[in-house]
Amino acid sequence: MTPSKSILWKTLQQSAGTVPRLTTLFANQPERAKNMSYRVGGLYADFSKQCITPEIQADLFTLLASCNFDDWRAKFFAGDNVNTTENRPALHPALRGTGGDRHIQKQVRDMQIQTRAFCEHIRAGGRYKTIVHIGIGGSDLGPRLCADALSADHTPLLEIRFANNMDGASINDALEGLDPATSLVISVSKSFTTQETKMNSVAAKIWLGEHAQTNMIAVTANRHSAKEFGISPDKIFDFWDWVGGRYSLWSAVSLSLQIAYGPDVFDALLKGAHEMDIHFQSAPLVQNLPVMLAMTGIWNCNFLGFPSQAIIPYARHLQGFPTFLQQLEMESNGKGVTRDGKPAGITCPVIWGDEGTNSQHAFFQHIHQGHGSAPIDFIAILESSEARPAHHTALLANCFAQSEALMVGKNEDIVRGELIARGMTTAEIDALAPHKTFPGNHPSTTILLEKLDACTLGNLIALYEHKVFVQSIVWDINPFDQWGVELGKVLAGTILNELNNGTDISAHDSSTQALITLARAALKP
Ligand code: F6P
């Protein structure tokens, strides 16, 4: 039975209207923070500022168990075809040594031996100064996030530049000021058919000129097309159809990271993810961190009615995390039908966010006092690698202050008392008090990283990957396909042809016709 039709779902719906305010929950539960905090690897996660009672928490775990969670998790790690619409497994954990059969494990090991040897060769050779990583979506966001995050604790041997967008500025900026002789171009595309990556790779190949044969590499699950493109077979690194694009950073897709930071640092990233895999596989539901993160999200989205979820890393080096999670969560779980093709209920919330403290000075006003406020995952690092201790102390103070302020709020009586103390008249107080009142009771989770090192980064990313999987089980959807991106790609091909060749556009609506006409006029040589 669909979970949303179950008695438990209705019980949870009724509970949603009865949750005491967060401040009351804390007053009544002296051990609340301790009871609702988890430690896994280098992570500490505190869920106590979520609007959840112990009874609701227990019901959420029962709900998950009733969705055959144990079976799904076992199938996932065993390499069953959990990606049902594409009839294949989603075995990214095997890339970090968890799950899969002997054949898959050998494929992974062989690839890791090949990439390690190649990276060591490039690093020892000293010929290259810069890597230009070309890719988009899952072939960009993971390596891009990690390149930035790893630089908190390590100095890359080579600079990495990224080119993702169709906008020519993306590849132009990436190549700006580089010498083709000392640049290694890595073209990353699972399909090797993605328009952006193809156009940027063609531009880079032309730019490399005589060096293209030696300095251009491909990472792909479509070796044939990479060869057709002109990459020599010994410079093609494979990954496999059982690695989804947005789950692929653990593969040769991150070759640029492995070269720049060294294979040992990359292994530490894999180790951190493996640690989270083992925890996810073995911890009982009540102690299972990805499960708690997922079920808290389900509670906020399906029962408390929050349409979005904010991710606020208080760490400059994790600035890319909200964007990475946008693809991971929304491309995975932004689905309209269940596994058997029936209409799904409400699924993935909109994921958004930016780094703290910048976001405090941009959109936090809306979260504190606007309508449709979002639950927040605050992410901060305890031990900073920056030699700015005063900055770091203030950064943490701001992070903790925001979650407290969002929870506690400020009621009108307190505001009025403050204004009276300032000597204001009753009329002035009546006019100002509503503006200075904060409703509070906004839910948040705080995740602290002991340190932003490779291993803890692996913990963090794998945590969210498994969160997405758990939620998909409750929503009864396939998180490993992405059919919704296809229609726009097909239409873009049609319109590109019409822009280039001036063919008939009368089949389009009048808005699209007008846009094409304007563009044709502007694009004329
Ligand atoms: O946007 C759709 C998508 O297929 C993503 O799922 C994928 O990560 C991205 O495009 C890039 O695809 P590829 O690695 O095949 O170039």
Closest listed residue to residue 439, CA positions, set 29, 23, 25, 13: 23
Flag whether 491 is in a domain: yes
Pairing of strands 444-451, 43-46: antiparallel
Nearest partner of 327 among 313, 348, 296, judged by Cα: 348
Ligand 1 — pocket residues by CB below 6 A?
Answer: 136-139, 189-191, 194, 197, 245-246, 331, 482, 485
pLDDT tens for each residue of 373-389: 899 999 999 999 888 99
Mean pLDDT throughout 301-326?
98
Across 369-451, where does the E strand assignment appear? 376-383, 444-451
Query: How many Å apart are CA 365 and CA 363, to the nearest integer?
Result: 5
What is the rounded CA–CA span in Å between residue 420 and residue 433?
A: 11
Q: Is the pLDDT of residue 438 over 80?
A: yes
- Give the pLDDT mean for 89-116: 96
3-state secondary structure of 185: strand
Does any domain span residue 246? yes
- Give the pLDDT confidence of 106-146 residue by residue, as tens digits: 999 999 999 999 999 999 999 999 999 999 999 999 999 99
pLDDT tens, position by position, 146-188: 999 999 999 999 999 999 999 999 999 999 999 999 999 999 9
Residue count of the chain, please give it: 525
Q: What is the pLDDT of residue 154?
A: 95
Of the listed ranges 306-315, 469-478, 482-491, the least confidently predicted one is 482-491
Kindly tell me if the per-residue pLDDT of 525 is higher than 70: no
Q: Which residues pair with 37 in a beta bridge?
A: 46
Whether residue 138 lies inside any domain: the answer is yes
* Overall average pLDDT of the 482-487 stretch: 93
Position 283 in a domain: no
Confidence (pLDDT) at 513: 97
How far is C-alpha 184 from the chain's CA centre? 27
Q: Give residue 375 CA to ligand 1 midpoint distance, Å.
A: 29
Q: Which of 190, 237, 325, 329 to mutate to test the pocket of ligand 1 (most atoms within 8 A of CB)?
A: 190
Residues 401-412 have a mean pLDDT of: 97
Q: What is the model's pTM?
A: 0.97
**Structural domain span for residue 492:** 484-523
Omega of the bond leading into 357 within 30 degrees of 0 (cis)? yes
How far apart are the C-alpha atoms of 396 and 399, rounded to whole Å?
Answer: 5
Taken in order 65, 69, 71, 73, is the CA torsion positive or negative? negative
Residue nearest to atom 5 of ligand 1 (CA): 137
CATH number, domain with residue 240 = 3.40.50.10490
pLDDT at 372: 74
Q: Looking at residues 188-196, what average pLDDT do you find?
A: 96
Percent of the chain scoring above 70 in pLDDT:
100
* 213 domain residue, yes or no: yes
Distance CA 297, CA 304 (A): 10
Determine the average pLDDT of the residues in 56-77: 97
Overall number of domains in the chain: 2
Confidence of residue 237 (pLDDT cuts 50, 70, 90): very high
Taking the centre of ligand 1 as the mean of its atom positions, its distance from the CA of residue 140, in whole angstroms, is 9
Which of residues 201, 231, 261 is at a domain's end?
Answer: 261
CB neighbours (10 Å) of residue 91? 27
Picking from 214, 246, 261, the residue at the C-terminal end of a domain is 261
| Closest approach atom of ligand 1 to CA 248 | 8
- pLDDT at position 481 is 96
Which residue, among 172, 161, 158, 238, has the nearest Cα to 204 in the 3D structure?
Answer: 172
What's the Cα-to-Cα distance from 182 to each of 61, 125, 178, 197, rounded to whole Å?
54, 11, 8, 21
Domain assignment of residue 84, yes or no: no
Q: Kindly state whether residue 496 falls inside one of the protein's structural domains.
A: yes
Is residue 73 over pLDDT 90? Answer: yes
Average model confidence (pLDDT) across the chain? 96
For 465, the enclosing helix (H) or strand (E) is helix 454-475
* Cα 353 to ligand 1 centroid, rounded to whole Å: 22
Please tell me the predicted confidence (pLDDT) of residue 386: 86
- Per the CB < 8 A criterion, the answer to whether 476 and 344 are in contact is yes
Write down the pLDDT at residue 387: 84
The whole-number pLDDT of residue 3 equals: 86
> Residue 399: inside a domain, yes or no?
no
Residue 524, pLDDT above cutoff 90: no
* Torsion sign (Cα): 82, 85, 88, 90: negative
Determine the distance from the C-alpha atom of residue 367 to the mean position of all C-alpha atoms in its chain, rounded to a whole number: 21
- Give the position, in ligand 1's atom list, of the atom nearest the Cα of 246: 8
**Among 222, 481, 482, which residue has the most ligand 1 atoms within 8 Å of its CB, making it the best to mutate?**
482
Q: What values do phi and psi take at 49, rounded to 5?
A: -90, 20
Q: Are 310 and 376 in contact (CB under 8 A)?
A: yes
Q: At what angle do helices 168-175 and 195-208 cross, to 10 degrees?
A: 40
**Which pLDDT belongs to residue 1?**
66
Supply the residues annotated as catalytic.
Answer: 331, 361, 489
User: How many helices, marked H, and strands, marked E, lie in the chain?
Assistant: 23, 11
- Backbone φ/ψ region at 454: left (φ over 0), alpha (ψ -120 to 50), beta: alpha
Query: In the predicted model, what is the mean pLDDT of residues 429-437?
Result: 97
- 191 CA closest ligand 1 atom index: 15
Of the three residues 261, 281, 303, the one that is the final residue of a domain is 261
Cα–ligand 1 centroid distance for 136 (angstroms): 6
Q: List the residue whose alpha carbon is closest to atom 16 of ligand 1.
A: 189
pLDDT at 2: 79
